[in-house]
Amino acid sequence: MKPAAFDYLRPASLDEAVLLLARHGSDAKILAGGQSLVPLLNFRMLRPSILVDINRVAELSFLRAEGAGLRIGALTRHHALETSPLVRERFPVLTAAMGHVAHLAIRNRGTTGGSLSHADPAAELPMMAMLLDAAIHTRSAGQERVHAAEAFFLGPLTSALEENEVVTEIVLPGLAAGTGWAFEEFAQRSGDFAIAAVAATIRLERGRIAEARLALMGVDETPVRLRGVEADLAGQAPSADLARHAAEAARDAVRPNTDLKASAEYRRHLVAGLVERALATAVDRARNAPR
Ligand code: FAD
């Protein structure tokens, strides 16, 4: 199918984009990489009368160090994140995750802001934003806001974004030196959306877990952080038994849906296996990390 007719506007600055969005209200929709929006237009599931193409807003396209962390502009493409030496050095878990996003052609166009705004519960970037405690910056004509990632994703394809609010950048606070990490995803074929995925970071102090983070996707209506399991891991000496118990607790904590790809029960089974494997890998990397 082809989209319903729309007018096409192409602002050259963020100020101009925000003004256009305010002027056209609910008639307007932002176009970034188009990888999620254009299929929805083609199937006529969305019929905006105006598309505001932000691809010429150069000030939204950047990737810079900030302290030990990173600032990532909303127009930064998935492939730029995947191949950035700065990302690989500071957040190798993000590099690993981005390699699982769709196919190269889609990663060449898809953007950070587009993926976060689209809020697919089986998308890698929202899960990474949760794992890495990202701050999501937004702007509209009236205000600038900063959202904690955990408060941003409200449901399937639903975020805290208000009408005509633009995601401008995300800020990732640095990870402590020596943090181990792991990313484990199960999909039917390479490039497919995940059936389930797990990302973990582990920091050890004197042989015990000082901090554990566990984020999952594909197993609830939003990506999730398993705060209870993280708290149970803290202070423990890592072992195979501990990883197995955490995996069982993770399996019991998630609330997956059954869909055409997999049953809820199968997703729970995957969660246990992926969490156990992710914890073992993250602990191993933490033990062997340079300090
Ligand atoms: P667009 O399609 O341009 O926009 C998506 C939505 O976000 C629209 O509602 C738009 O108005 C809004 N929007 C865009 N930018 C902003 C902004 N800065 N501020 C506010 N709102 C904004 N993704 C994955 O994570 N994992 C996958 O495995 C995966 N597989 C895919 C497979 C296929 C075949 C396809 C077509 C897509 C797949 N995707 C996957 C989605 C892909 O990552 C998209 O790039 C991403 O979801 C949307 O980014 P975009 O820049 O293309 O946004």
pLDDT at 88: 97
In testing the pocket of ligand 1, which one of 118, 144, 163, 186 has its CB within 8 Å of the most ligand atoms?
A: 118
CA–centroid distance, residue 32 to ligand 1 (Å): 8
Model pLDDT, residue 290: 74
Best residue among 9, 27, 36 to mutate for probing ligand 1, ranked by most atoms within 8 Å of CB: 36
Q: Answer whether 197 contacts ligand 1 (Cβ < 6 A).
A: no
Q: What is the pLDDT of residues 174-197, one digit of tens each?
A: 999 999 999 999 999 988 999 999
Does the pLDDT at position 1 exceed 80?
no
Q: Which atom of ligand 1 is nearest to the CA of 113?
A: 18
Q: Does 29 sit in the ligand 1 pocket, CB within 6 Å?
A: yes
* Spacing, Cα 188 to ligand 1 middle (Å): 20
201 lines ligand 1 (CB under 6 A): no
Number of Cβ within 10 Å of residue 175's Cβ equals: 21
Kindly report the average pLDDT of the chain as a whole number. Answer: 96
pLDDT per residue as tens digits for the range 66-76: 999 999 999 99
Convert the pLDDT of each residue in 97-121 to its tens digit. Answer: 999 999 999 999 999 999 999 999 9
Chain segment 12-42, per-residue pLDDT in tens: 999 999 999 999 999 999 999 999 999 999 9
Is the distance from the beta carbon of residue 84 to the nearest atom of ligand 1 less than 6 Å?
no
CATH class of segment(s) 7-53: alpha beta
Give the nearest ligand 1 atom to 193 CA. 28
Percentage of the chain lying above the pLDDT 70 cut:
100
Burial of 163 (0-12, 13-18, 19+ CB in 10 A): exposed
Q: For residue range 238-262, what is the model confidence (pLDDT) as tens digits? A: 999 999 999 999 999 999 999 999 9
The string of pLDDT tens digits covering residues 135-173 is 999 999 989 999 999 999 999 999 999 998 999 999 999
82 lines ligand 1 (CB under 6 A): no
DSSP annotation string for 131-184? HTT-EEEEE-SS-EEEEEHHHHEEETTEESPPTT-EEEEEEEPPPPTT-EEEEE
Nearest to 165 by CA among 26, 7, 55, 6: 26
Average pLDDT over residues 200-204: 98
CA 111 to centroid of ligand 1, rounded, Å: 7
pTM (predicted TM-score)? 0.96
CA distances from 154 to 117, 149, 151 (A): 11, 10, 7
Handedness of CA 65, 66, 69, 75 (dihedral sign): negative
Which is the closest atom of ligand 1 to the Cα of 126? 25
Q: Which CATH superfamily is domain 179-288 in?
A: CO dehydrogenase flavoprotein, C-terminal domain (3.30.390.50)
Question: CB under 8 Å to 224, separation ≥6 — which residues?
Answer: 130, 215, 216, 217, 254
Q: What is the pLDDT of residue 96?
A: 98
| Positive or negative torsion for Cα 81, 85, 88, 89 | negative
CA-based nearest residue to 190, from 80, 78, 115, 103: 103
CB 59 within 8 A of CB 195: no
CB of residue 110 inside a 6 A radius of ligand 1: yes
115 touches ligand 1 (CB under 6 Å)? yes
Q: What confidence score (pLDDT) does residue 217 get?
A: 97
**Domain spanning 61-172: which CATH class is it, in words?**
alpha beta
Q: Is the pLDDT of residue 289 over 90?
A: no
The pair of three-digit structure tokens given for residue 274, joined into one six-digit string: 């992926």
Site of tokens 């999952």: 216
pLDDT at residue 291 in the model: 67
Atom of ligand 1 nearest to the CA of 110: 45
What residue ranges do the domains of the chain occupy? 7-53, 61-172, 179-288
45 and 29 Cβ atoms separated by less than 8 Å = no
For position 184, what pLDDT does the model report? 98
**Which pair of tokens denotes residue 215?**
């984020």
218 lines ligand 1 (CB under 6 A): no
Token couple for 61: 């396209």
